[in-house]
C-alpha cells in the first residue's frame, strides 16, 4: 500500500513565508504599493519597487523575455494576450483538442471561437490536422498552442506554418516553465520554451512548477503588446511607471491608455512574495523531477501493456507528471486497472472521461456540436495521468512503479 498523497503541492520556501508575513504585518498587499522592510531583499532591484514589480523582473531574468506582467492566473494571461492582439467578437482561434479547459475558456472569454487541432500519440498538436484546420478556416488569425503536461510540439515547423499563414502565436506555458526546446541549447535561454510566439503565458496555480495557489504571467518581447497587457491587467493613470519589466518609452502607454479597458486581473503583493524566492529554485526543481521521471519510465517500460511515447525530437519530457497510454485495453479492463492501482494507494486518472476537464467533449460552452476529433478521443480514452509530486523520493517511485506493473 502506498500512503503518500498524489496531490502534494510544491513547498513554499521559508524566505517566502517570511516575506509574506512582513507584508501582512504592514498591510500593503496591493501590487502598486510598496513595503520597505521585506526580509528577502535583492540588491540588483530598486528597493522602492513593489513585490510584484520585483517578481516580474526576476521572472524575465529566468525566461529571457524582455517584459512580463503578473496576473491572477494563466487563463487571465491568455485572455489578455488575445485582447492585446486585437481579437474581435466571433473570431476563430486555433488551439489543442487535448489541453485543459482553461485554454478554450480564455478564448471564449475574449469573444473568440475555438477551432480544435487533433493531438498525436505523443500528446502534442498534429501538424496535419493543424494544416487542415488552417485550410478550412483561411481567415484564422490566432493560435494558442498549449504545451499540455509539458509535451512540446514541433515548434519550428509550427512557427513556419503560422508565419506563412499570418497566424499570431500564443504559447500556453502553464506546464512549460523551464522546459527546453532544442536540447542542444541546454542552459541557453534560447532553448527555453516560450520564445516561438509573440506572447507566452504561465501559471503558478498549485499544481505547477511555481506554487502560489493561483497566479499567472504574460511574457513578451514586443513593446506594444507589453504596454497593452500592463494596462489591461489593471494599471491606470501613471501606475505603469512602477513596473520594472516594462518598455521604457512612456509614450507607448500614454498613446493607448484611455483605449484599453482595465480588466482588474492584477497579481497582489502577497502572491508575489510567495513566488519570488521560488523562481531561484526552478532549475533545482527540474533536476529533482528529472531523476524520478526517468526512473518511473525505466520501471514501466518493461510492460508491453502500455506505451510511453518518446518526446518530439529536440525536446525533453521532464515533468511533475507522467502520461502513458494503455495498449489493447477495453473500457472494463481499463476501469479494473485504475481501481486496482487505487486500492493500493496509487491514484491514476484517465483524461478521456465523463468528468475530466481535459476531455474536449466536456467543453460544451465552446461548441454547438462536438468537434470530430476522432484521434484525440481515442488517445485520451486510454491515456493515464500519474502525478509525481516534488516531495516523492526515488523509493516512492520504486513502490509506485511496482504497484502499477502488478495492477496491469
Residues that bind ligand PLP (CB under 6 A): 73-75, 99-100, 102-103, 146, 148, 172, 174-175, 203, 205, 216
What is the grid cell recorded at 334?
A: 481499463
Minimum Å gap between C-beta 95 and ligand PLP is 10
Minimum Å gap between C-beta 146 and ligand PLP is 5
Judged by beta carbon, residue 102 or residue 244, the one nearer ligand PLP is 102
Judged by beta carbon, residue 38 or residue 200, the one nearer ligand PLP is 200
> Among residues 362, 341, 210, 206, which one has the least CA distance to residue 282?
210
Judged by beta carbon, residue 68 or residue 102, the one nearer ligand PLP is 102
Judged by beta carbon, residue 362 or residue 407, the one nearer ligand PLP is 362
Mind giving me the DSSP string for 35-90? -S--SS--TTS-TTS-HHHHHHHHHHHHH--SEEEEES-HHHHHHHHHHHTT--TT
Residue 268 neighbours by CB under 8 Å, 6+ apart: 29, 30, 31, 52
Minimum Å gap between C-beta 357 and ligand PLP is 9
Minimum Å gap between C-beta 389 and ligand PLP is 15
> Among residues 230, 207, 209, which one has the least CA distance to residue 8?
207
Residue 36 neighbours by CB under 8 Å, 6+ apart: 47
Judged by beta carbon, residue 174 or residue 230, the one nearer ligand PLP is 174
Phi, psi of 77 (to 5 degrees): -60, -45
- Angle of CA points 329, 333, 335, to nearest 5°: 115
Residue 17 host element (H or E): helix 14-26
Judged by beta carbon, residue 216 or residue 371, the one nearer ligand PLP is 216
Minimum Å gap between C-beta 207 and ligand PLP is 7
Minimum Å gap between C-beta 78 and ligand PLP is 7
Amino acid at each position: 500500500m502506498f500512503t503518500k498523497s498524489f496531490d502534494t503541492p510544491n513547498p513554499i520556501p521559508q524566505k517566502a513565508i517570511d516575506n509574506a508575513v512582513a507584508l501582512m504585518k504592514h498591510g500593503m498587499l496591493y501590487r502598486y504599493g510598496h513595503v520597505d522592510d521585506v526580509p528577502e531583499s535583492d540588491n540588483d532591484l530598486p528597493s522602492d519597487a513593489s513585490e510584484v514589480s520585483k517578481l516580474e523582473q526576476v521572472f524575465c531574468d529566468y525566461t529571457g523575455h524582455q517584459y512580463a506582467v503578473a496576473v491572477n492566473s494563466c487563463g487571465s494571461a491568455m485572455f489578455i494576450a488575445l485582447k492585446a492582439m486585437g481579437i474581435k467578437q466571433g473570431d476563430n482561434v486555433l488551439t489543442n483538442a487535448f489541453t485543459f479547459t482553461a485554454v478554450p475558456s480564455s478564448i471564449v472569454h475574449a469573444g473568440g471561437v475555438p477551432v480544435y487541432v487533433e493531438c498525436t500519440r505523443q500528446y502534442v498538436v498534429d501538424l496535419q490536422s493543424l494544416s487542415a484546420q488552417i485550410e478550412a478556416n483561411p481567415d484564422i488569425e490566432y493560435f494558442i498552442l498549449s504545451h499540455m503536461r509539458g509535451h512540446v510540439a514541433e515548434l519550428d515547423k509550427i512557427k513556419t506554418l503560422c508565419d506563412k499563414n499570418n497566424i499570431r502565436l500564443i504559447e500556453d506555458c502553464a506546464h512549460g516553465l523551464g522546459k527546453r526546446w532544442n536540447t542542444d541549447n541546454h542552459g541557453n535561454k534560447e532553448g527555453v520554451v516560450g520564445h516561438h510566439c509573440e506572447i507566452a503565458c504561465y501559471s503558478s496555480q498549485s499544481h505547477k512548477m511555481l506554487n502560489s495557489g493561483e497566479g499567472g504571467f504574460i511574457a513578451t518581447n514586443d513593446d506594444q503588446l507589453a504596454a497593452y497587457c500592463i494596462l489591461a491587467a489593471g494599471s491606470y493613470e501613471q501606475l505603469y511607471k512602477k513596473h520594472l519589466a516594462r518598455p521604457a518609452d512612456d509614450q507607448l502607454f500614454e498613446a493607448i491608455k484611455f483605449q484599453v479597458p482595465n480588466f482588474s486581473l492584477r497579481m497582489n503583493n502577497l502572491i508575489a512574495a510567495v513566488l519570488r524566492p521560488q523562481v531561484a529554485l526552478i532549475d533545482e526543481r527540474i533536476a529533482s523531477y528529472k531523476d524520478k521521471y526517468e526512473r518511473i519510465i525505466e520501471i514501466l517500460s518493461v510492460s508491453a501493456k502500455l506505451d510511453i511515447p518518446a518526446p518530439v525530437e529536440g525536446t525533453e519530457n521532464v515533468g511533475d507528471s507522467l502520461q502513458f497510454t494503455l495498449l489493447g485495453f477495453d473500457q472494463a479492463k481499463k476501469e479494473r486497472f485504475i481501481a486496482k492501482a487505487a486500492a493500493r494507494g496509487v491514484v491514476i486518472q484517465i483524461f478521456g472521461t465523463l468528468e475530466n476537464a481535459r476531455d474536449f467533449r466536456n467543453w460544451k460552452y465552446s461548441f454547438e456540436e462536438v468537434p470530430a476529433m476522432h484521434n484525440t478521443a481515442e488517445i485520451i480514452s486510454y491515456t493515464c495521468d500519474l502525478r509525481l509530486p516534488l516531495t516523492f523520493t526515488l523509493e516512492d517511485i520504486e513502490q509506485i512503479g511496482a504497484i502499477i506493473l502488478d495492477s496491469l
